[in-house]
Structure 1
Amino acid sequence: MQVKIQPSLRIGTILLLFLFTSEEACAEPIIKSVKLIIQPRNEVQRSANVSLRCQAEVSHSPGSHHNYKYLFYKDYLPLNTDQTNATDNIFSIPDARVGHSGKYSCDVVIENQKKASSVKDLTVKGLLTPVLTVDKLRLTEGDDVTAICAAEGETGSLTFFFRDGPEELYRKSTDSPKVEHKLTLNKGTVNMFCYYSINLGGTVDNSNNSNVISVHIQELTIKPEIKAMPSTNVIEGDIINFSCRVDLTHQRNSELKIIFTHGRTTLDLNMTQKDYQMMAKANDSGEYECISKLGVVHKSSTVNITVKELFSMPDLSIHPAEVFEGEHFTISCQISSFASERIQREDITYVIFRDKTPVINYNRYSGTAGKVTNGKYMCMAKAKGISKESWTVLFGAKVLVSKPEITVDGPVITDEPFWIRCHSVNGTLPITFSLKKNNITLNRTKVFYSHEANFLALISSPSDISSYFCEAENNGQVSIKMSERLLNVTVIVPVGKPLLTVLPVPENIEEGNDVTLICGISKGSPPIRFRFYDSNHTPIHTTEVQSNSSSFVLSRVNREKSGNYHCEAFNREDMLSKSDIVTVKVSLAKWKKVLIAVFCMLLVVLLVLFVVMGYKAKRGKRKMAAKLSVKPSSPKSDDSLTLSLTHDTLYSTHTVEVNNKESVWSERPPDVADQDSLQSQNEGDVEYTEVVHPQPVDPTQIPLRKGTDTVYSELQTSQGDPEHINHQTLLEYAELNHDLPDPVD
């Protein structure tokens, strides 16, 4: 069987094959792995040639060509970028140095793909030995020598050190393999060498020491000679001559300077041709130095001077230490020692100053403490041209405390604590304040930083406020000052619970009456604000009075005014008090009650008349004939008799059953003649029940019935014998009027 291929199917197959081959041809390459190879090995010696080969394993479509981008890193920093179509690339390190040691890696990037190799360590062993050179081998003290330390070909972060044995002369960090520096040498002979260190990512390697070079320095003989005359031990007031000399016979002297100092104080900048003279004082003891300076070379010599005091610094004292205004005080000025070999005590003169103004030329001063004598006091002692001042003493006469003032902040509220402030305008601190009530001390406090004290107090009635006063003293009992009593203070008595009264009494309020609401309190400071509220808690009246009660009239109230009323009283917003709720009920007016009673009576009378007239009307309309049929109610019954009464109009039969039992229906009394007839026959009493069907006005409206409706009523006799029944009597009581009810279905 031969299958023919439709031309359209052939074209579709060709297109599918073309698309498939196109997708294969355009498929992106996949970088499977990247490897870094260090050649010849990971650890080499200095000067070796090192190659870093980055190889990539890539999966791609046959015949496809892609560009490969290689990135090399040292210590995670990029080195270079190279682009080729080869699957590997080489980064060369010719003549490797220790500085080339580190962590290497590479990345391969093809189009949007990138893959990194693992990190490899390269270690290069062996640092170069540096070479030291100098421009001079013989120097004069103070001259400079240029030293060069070189490690040509070394790379990396290097630090060069210049040393003289254990002493370091200079150091410098650089990326250059050579350091040049001018050194100033101050010794006779310096054996100088150098070396360098390299930092390899956390570890430091040191090179070998360079060659040693000996440099000879000729010392300058410019050391000065210092002398103090007449002696290094002097007494205050003596004259001292200092001399500084340098032998410049064989020296260059054009630039030589000699400086004279005492401690950190420079006394003379150039003493080459002269001496330094001064009068010795007590604080002039210490070390004196001559410094000779030639260029950068310094030489010095020192001498120690001891100066004995001619007399000690005077001491100013005030007695007594604390003085109040009006009290006497004394100021004295004394020295503790003097040089008896130079002066006598009588040779010393004194001056006492107040605020830098002389008060007395003597060492003692007396006065009365007051504002005039207040100030800063000091004294001066003089002898042999030497004057010394004492320390300054501040003197101020203490001020007796002034009469305190007693006040309160804001109004005082009974039965609530309040603060009483006692304040004195004047008075030297500390001051002791006392709060008293009727000469009884309630509290006491001593203040050191202010002129007032605060006390907490409590009163139960407004009259208690005037019993408080305070005292102040700062010098014992002699300085006690008493304040006035606490007067002119507003005392507020909080309002008591209000009582709401209603007039007339809530049970006797009728519509149209005026109702008076009276809100009263038992206590409270006027003015009092009263506020009345209705049952909706809505304010209906607010007033402010000077008395303890207020009223509000509800004019001509109606029943809508019934509800719960209350009032509030307050003499401050935070002292509000509420009354209990009073229920007001407004009843109907009396004339409305009478009118309702009369109306109800009329309704009752009309109803009675209507019933009576209706009943009479029904009796007058009774027009009917009755048929009586008597038959036993049951074939087996010998003590009952059934009477059938046929209403001509309704075509219904009413059956009356006579039984010796008592009937539950209403009883109609028989006529007198009938009673006699019944009694003569010794018959028992007979009870009758009447079932009445009212006759419709229009006989045509009477619904048709399939048969005769019969209603049975049971008649009972005492004997239970049917033949004893008086038929005539039954017939008479079986009469029906015209208002018989409709038949019962």
Structure 2
Amino acid sequence: QVFTFNKVEIGVQPSVKVKNGAPMSVICHADISKNTDFQLKHNFTIFKNGKRVFMTISDKEYARYEIPVARSSDTGDYECTVNADRKRSSSKPVYVWVAGMTKPILTADKKEVLEGEVVKLRCELPEEVPPLEFFFRKIKTNSAPKEKRVPEQNQNFSEVEYYIEAGDNILQFDCFAKRQVRSGWESSQHSNKTLVTVKEPFIKPTLTVPSSNITEGDQIEFECSTVAAQMRDIELILQKNRKILNSVRDKKFLKYSTVATQEDSGEYLCKVEQGAVSKTTKLNVFVSELFPKPSLFASMTKLDESKDLNLSCSINGFRGANFSIVRKSSTGDILLKNSSVLPMKVNVNDTGSYTCKAEVKGIVKESKPVRINVYAPVSKPTLSVVSGSPEVVLGKPLQLICHSVMGTPPITFTFYKGDEVKKNVTNDTYAVFLDEDIGLNDKGGYKCDARNNHSSGVKTSNILNVTVIVPIRDASLGSLPYGEVEVGSDTAFLCSVKEGSWPIDFKFFKKTDHEVLLHEVRVNSDKTIWHKKTMKRKDTGTYYCMASNRASVDVRSHPITISVILAAWQKGVIAAFVLTAIAGAGAVALWWFLCKKKKAKGPSMEMSGSALAPNLTSEKVTRPTSDGNYYSGSGYIEDNENHMKSTDESKGPDLESAEVDYTEVEVSTLDPHREIDSVPIHFPAPEQKGTETVYSEIRKTNN
């Protein structure tokens, strides 16, 4: 039995788009080829959005998933999988859209509420599945609905609370829902409308005044009242321009009275509050003017101290008012005189603001203030440098201060550099000037002027001359002798600078593992010499100098190295000692060599005291005349007719044919009283003549 899947298909009836509430069928069909006609069990599984929704086993090649009432929650991707005898095949997915949503159900927890209370609403879609978005609407007569949106991710209902405001008489509420589908958003129908009746806890207040024709000086009385079902926690408030004039609690009316002034014109507000409910009533009041404001006149507003000042107060076109002239103060008004005229001789303390007041029928009006300034003359200013010292470093700014001890501000200060005006400053008692253009060739000093509104005019300071300090530049260090100095000798160190204002502080340092100050001096010069006496070996090292002046900038030279060496006589003593030691060592070595030589020749030579007899045969050994003191011989050395006979004669005639031996022998004159083995013998190196070596020939001759 052999079979194979050709393909698996999935279909939807009546179509892939189904109206909400209509029946729907999802059909899965397997196309299978067999080699013979045999029964085969098919395991059909239908998935929606990856989740299994239907499964059946059938010997037919198709299966049907019936949905009697399709809802929007049935929208999604469907696919089918068929298993048969360990073989499996799946269809391609198909998207099914159930169009439309069920109508939501709206309920309210109250059918009748008071203003200020809250009504709770619930909107429900029992046949839909989340996520959903709910929309609640509050519908008021002759106004646009107020809408609230509430998303719900995990439930198919939503609840909200609505606050009932004043003026909400009869309200209707409804709701609807939306869900997101592949093509966008899909909306449900609107729910049933729910009616809520609103009752007033109190009526809108009334605000009254006895008469609408009010003039300044009249007594004006306001009355605010309301009618409430319950007086508990009710409050009445009277306001004007945000200012509370009067208020009462747990009462149905309030009163407020005052003497009317022109400032009392405006809008008044009566407000009734109970809990969260508030109702208001407005009333505009106009107060006619009884008389205009007075005016204050001054003979002068700016004057010198000890001058005369006249103040007068009047009302244009009105007589019969009571006047007073006052001076304004931070602690209150100071009454100067109950009159319309005030003459006075002023001093500086009289500077300030003055007004006059007029009173008619208890109504007091005040004029605009008039500012009076009384000036004392400025004193002669003093000009100084802010840092204190009358000097400045070249390239640095110079800050000056001009100050007047006396004088009524504001004072105008003028700064001069030479005859040139540099700056004008208006301040109280002093002013500051910053000169950033300092040069060596600046001519003329600084001065400043001070003046105010006093008639005495300008006062000028003394001229201030400022010293310009040139900073140190390029310090250098030298020495004599330079480099090497003998022990015990003196050394002169010269430290100099290219430029810099005097006096200059010079410091000499030796550089070790820390800085060592050796010498310091202050001179009115651009260089100085320091003599260091009796140099020692420990004075070897690196030296540098540092220069500074009132510019407060230390300039350091490049370092130099001094080596302290031995004197010539010290070197001679050491050399003599060394040569003596070498000569001694050479003598010892020579003695050792001769002793060794003597022992080597002992067995081949017979030496005795009788061998030196006068009748012994000897042969004089000669060599070129140029070798004056040198002699050659095989076995004899002749000196003052004394001979030494070689023991080689005992060896017989064969020795005559021996090869010639070459060596160089230095022979000293023999002392007849000394033994032969005490004679010194040296073996110098071969003598060079041109490129040839000259040898002394030693032959043995028989007499």
TM tier relative to shorter chain: 0.5 to 0.7
Distance change (3 Å), C-alpha of 1:531 and 1:127: same
Q: What residue is the counterpart of 1:696 in the other structure? A: 697
Cα deviations by residue, 1:292-330 (Å, 9 ceiling, x for unpaired): 999999998876433211123345566644455555545
Assess, with a 3 A threshold, how the Cα gap between structure 1 residues 35 and 419 changes in structure 2: closer, same or farther.
Answer: farther
Question: What is the CA–CA distance in structure 1 between the aligned matches of 2:549 and 2:236, rounded to whole Å?
Answer: 94
Equivalent in the alignment of 2:460 = 482
Distance 2:404 2:141 in 1: 81
1:544 counterpart residue number: 521
Q: Partners in 1 of 2:358 and 2:464 — Cα distance?
A: 58
Matched, 1:451 2:461: no
Q: Which shifted more, 296-305 or 42-51? A: 296-305
* Residue in 1 that maps onto 2:402: 423
In structure 2, what is the equivalent of residue 47 of structure 1? 21
CA distance, structure 2, for counterparts of residue 273 and residue 512 of structure 1: 119
Residue 199 (structure 1) shift: 0.8
Tell me which residue corresponds to 1:200. Answer: 179
Match status 1:159 vs 2:141: no
2-side partners of 1:300 and 1:561: how far apart? 104
**Aligned equivalents of 2:193, 2:439: Cα separation in 1:** 104
CA deviations on 1:679-698 (whole Å, 9 max, x unpaired) are xxxxxxxxxxxx99755326
Shift of 1:478: 2.9
The answer to whether the Cα contact below 8 Å between 2:474 and 2:555 also exists between their aligned partners in 1 is no
Aligned-pair CA distance for 1:384 = 0.9
Classify 1:261/1:271 alpha carbon distance in 2 versus 1 (closer, same or farther; 3 Å): farther
| Map of 2:99 onto structure 1 | 124
Q: CA deviation at 1:198?
A: 1.9
Alpha-carbon distance, 1:386 to partner: 0.6
Cα root mean square deviation, aligned: 7.0
Structure 2: gaps (5+ residues): 1-6, 32-42, 82-89, 151-155, 576-622, 634-656, 661-691
The C-alpha deviation readout for 1:578-597, integer Å capped at 9, x for no partner, is: 5999999999869999xx9x
- Structure-2 separation of matches of 1:209 and 1:303: 44
Equivalent residues in 2 for 1:316-355, closer than 5 Å: 316=296, 320-323=300-303, 325-335=305-315, 344-355=318-329
Counterpart residue type for residue 697 of structure 1: I
Secondary structure of the residue aligned to 2:350 is: coil
The one-letter code matched in structure 1 to 2:402 is H
**Contact kept in structure 1, 2:105 and 2:124, CA below 8 Å:** yes
Q: TM-score, normalised by structure 1?
A: 0.52
Counterpart residue number, 1:312: 292
- In the alignment, is residue 281 of structure 1 matched against residue 261 of structure 2? yes
Q: Letter of the aligned partner of 1:480 in structure 2?
A: V
Q: Spell out, residue by residue over 1:200-237, the C-alpha distance to the aligned partner (whole angstroms, 9 max, x if none).
A: 21525252685899x9999999888876545x233211
**SS of residue paired to 1:207:** coil
Aligned positions of 1:712-723 closer than 5 A: none
Partners of 1:187 and 1:217 within 8 A in 2: yes
Distance of aligned partners of 1:435 and 1:86 in 2 relative to their CA distance in 1, 3 Å threshold: farther
Aligned residue type for 1:423 = C
Determine the C-alpha separation between the residues in 1 that align with 2:447 and 2:420.
Answer: 10
Give the CA deviation at 1:373: 2.2
SS at 1:345 equivalent: coil
Can you list the C-alpha shifts for 1:375-430, whole angstroms capped at 9, x where unaligned? 55443321111112345667664565443341252663575555141232655555
Instruction: Indicate if the aligned counterparts of 1:430 and 1:446 stay in contact, CA closer than 8 A.
Output: no
SS in 2 for 1:283: helix
Partner of 1:379: 356
Q: Which runs of 5+ in 1 are unaligned?
A: 1-32, 58-66, 109-114, 338-343, 597-612, 624-647, 652-690, 701-745
SS at match of 1:346: coil
Distance in 1 (alpha carbons) for counterparts of 2:487 and 2:109: 133
Q: Which amino acid aligns with 2:412?
A: T
- Is 2:216 the counterpart of 1:236? yes
Change over 3 Å in CA distance of 1:295–1:153 after alignment to 2:
same
Are 1:314 and 1:390, in contact at CA under 8 Å, matched by a contact in 2?
yes
Aligned residue runs from structure 1 range 70-81, under 5 A: none
CA 1:42–1:69 in 2, change beyond 3 Å: closer, same or farther?
Answer: closer
Whichever residue aligns with residue 199 of structure 1, its letter is: K
Secondary structure in structure 2 of the residue aligned to 1:616: helix
- 2:588 paired residue number: none
2:464 and 2:502 map into 1 onto residues whose CA distance is: 19
After superposition, give the CA deviation of every residue in 1:133-152 in whole Å (9 maximum; x if it has no partner): 9999xx99989999999888
Secondary structure in 2 matching 1:372: helix
Task: Tell me which residue corresponds to 2:664.
Answer: none
Secondary structure at the aligned position of 2:263 is classed as helix
Is 1:362 the equivalent of 2:344?
no
CA contact (8 A) 1:500 1:582 kept: no
Structure label with greater radius of gyration: 1
Q: Does the Cα contact within 8 Å between 1:422 and 1:452 map onto a contact in 2?
A: yes
* Matching of residue 470 in structure 1 with residue 468 in structure 2: no
Contact 1:102 1:200 in 2 (8 A): no
> Aligned residue pairs: how many?
551
The answer to whether the Cα contact below 8 Å between 1:141 and 1:186 also exists between their aligned partners in 2 is: no
Structure 2 Cα separation of the partners of residues 382 and 322 of structure 1: 29
- Check 1:149–1:415 CA distance in 2 against 1; reply closer, same or farther (3 A cut): closer
CA contact (8 A) 2:271 2:281 kept: yes
Contact 2:321 2:358 in 1 (8 A): no
Residue identity opposite 2:505 in structure 1: I
Identify the residue that residue 617 of structure 1 maps to in structure 2: 627
Name the residue aligned to 1:528. Answer: 505
Query: CA 1:524/1:81 → structure 2, altered by over 3 Å: closer, same or farther?
Result: same
Specify whether residues 104 and 380 from structure 1 end up closer, same or farther in structure 2 by C-alpha distance, changes over 3 A only. farther
Deviation at 1:282, TM superposition (A): 0.7
- Report the counterpart of residue 723 of structure 1 in structure 2: none
